[in-house]
Amino acid sequence: MEAVTEPLNQGSFSMQLSQDQLDVREWVHGFAANVVRPAAAEWDEREETPWPLIQEAAKIGLYSFEALAQFYADESGLMVPIVNEELFWGDGGIGMSIMGTTLAVAAIFSSGTGEQFGEWVPQCYGSVDEPKVAAFCVSEPDAGSDVSSLRTRARYDAATDEWVINGQKAWATNGGIAAVHVVVASVDPELGSRGQAGFINEQYRIYFTNDYAMIACWFGAVYMLRQERYVVAAALTFIGAFAKETMLLVPVLLAFRAIRARPARVPFVLTAVAFVVPTAIVRTVYRTSIDQWAWWNTIYANVPFLQSSMEAFTQTIKNNLKVALFYNVFWVIAFRRVLTLGDPFMRDLGATGLVYLLLAYPVIYLRELRHFLPLAIVVLPMAISAFERQADPSPSVSPAP
Phi, psi dihedral angles at 210 (to 5 degrees): -60, -40
pLDDT at 202: 58
For residue 161, give its domain range: 137-204
pLDDT at 185: 86
- Which range (54-63, 129-138, 378-387) has the least confidence? 378-387
Residue 114 counted as domain residue: no
Residue 4 has pLDDT above 60, yes or no: no
Is residue 239 within 8 Å of residue 217, measured between CB atoms? yes
- Which range (79-83, 230-234, 266-270, 360-364) has the least confidence? 360-364
Q: Give the integer Cα–Cα distance in Å for 60 and 81.
A: 19
Q: Do residues 239 and 199 share a domain? A: no
Residue 363 counted as domain residue: yes
Q: DSSP letter string over 125-141?
A: HB-SSSB--EEEE--BT
343: left (phi over 0), alpha (psi -120 to 50) or beta: beta
Q: Point out the domain boundary residue: 204, 229, 249.
A: 204
**Alpha carbon separation from 198 to 136, 153, 185, 192, 236 (Å, rounded):** 9, 11, 6, 14, 39
Q: Point out the domain boundary residue: 182, 204, 226.
A: 204
Q: Point out the domain boundary residue: 184, 204, 224.
A: 204
Q: Do residues 213 and 194 share a domain? A: no
Is residue 335 within 8 Å of residue 175, measured between CB atoms? no
Residue 1 counted as domain residue: no
Per-residue pLDDT tens over the stretch 135-168: 998 888 766 666 777 778 888 777 767 787 877 7
Question: What's the mean per-residue pLDDT of the chain?
Answer: 77
**What average pLDDT does the segment 234-248 reach?**
86
Q: Is 57 helix (H, G, I), strand (E, B) or coil?
A: helix
Q: Do residues 262 and 322 share a domain? A: yes
Q: Do residues 254 and 182 share a domain? A: no
Q: Which helix (H) or strand (E) holds 263?
A: none
What is the pLDDT confidence band of residue 3, given thresholds at 50, 70 and 90?
very low
**What average pLDDT does the segment 216-223 reach?**
86
Q: Give the integer Cα–Cα distance in Å for 207 and 354.
A: 24
Residue 83 has pLDDT above 80, yes or no: yes
What is the pLDDT confidence band of residue 339, given thresholds at 50, 70 and 90?
low
Q: Give the integer Cα–Cα distance in Å for 28 and 134.
A: 22
Q: Do residues 228 and 191 share a domain? A: no
**Alpha carbon separation from 72 to 28, 81, 88, 109, 297 (Å, rounded):** 15, 10, 18, 12, 40
Residue 148 carries which DSSP code? G
Q: Do residues 243 and 293 share a domain? A: yes
pLDDT at 291: 47
Other Cβ atoms less than 10 A from the Cβ of 27: the count is: 15
Taking each helix axis as running N to C, give the angle between helix 373-391 and helix 344-363, from 0 to 180 degrees, rounded to the nearest 10. 160
Structural domain count, the chain: 3
Is residue 60 within 8 Å of residue 130, measured between CB atoms? no
Amino acid found at 55: Q
pLDDT at 393: 55
More confident residue, 185 or 379: 185
pLDDT at 273: 93
pLDDT at 29: 96
Q: Do residues 268 and 346 share a domain? A: yes
Q: Do residues 199 and 218 share a domain? A: no
Here the CATH number for the domain that contains residue 84 is 1.10.540.10
Residue 240 counted as domain residue: yes
Q: Give the integer Cα–Cα distance in Å for 188 and 186.
A: 6
Q: Do residues 255 and 345 share a domain? A: yes
Q: Do residues 219 and 186 share a domain? A: no
Q: Do residues 89 and 147 share a domain? A: no
The terminus-to-terminus CA distance of the chain in angstroms comes to 81
β-strand partners of 137 = 183
What is the pLDDT confidence band of residue 209, given thresholds at 50, 70 and 90?
low
Residue 132 counted as domain residue: no
More confident residue, 388 or 150: 150
Is residue 267 within 8 Å of residue 233, measured between CB atoms? yes
At CA 177, angle to CA 175 and CA 178, rounded to 5? 75
Q: Do residues 355 and 242 share a domain? A: yes
**What average pLDDT does the segment 40-67 reach?**
92
Here the CATH number for the domain that contains residue 147 is 2.40.110.10
Residue 9 counted as domain residue: no
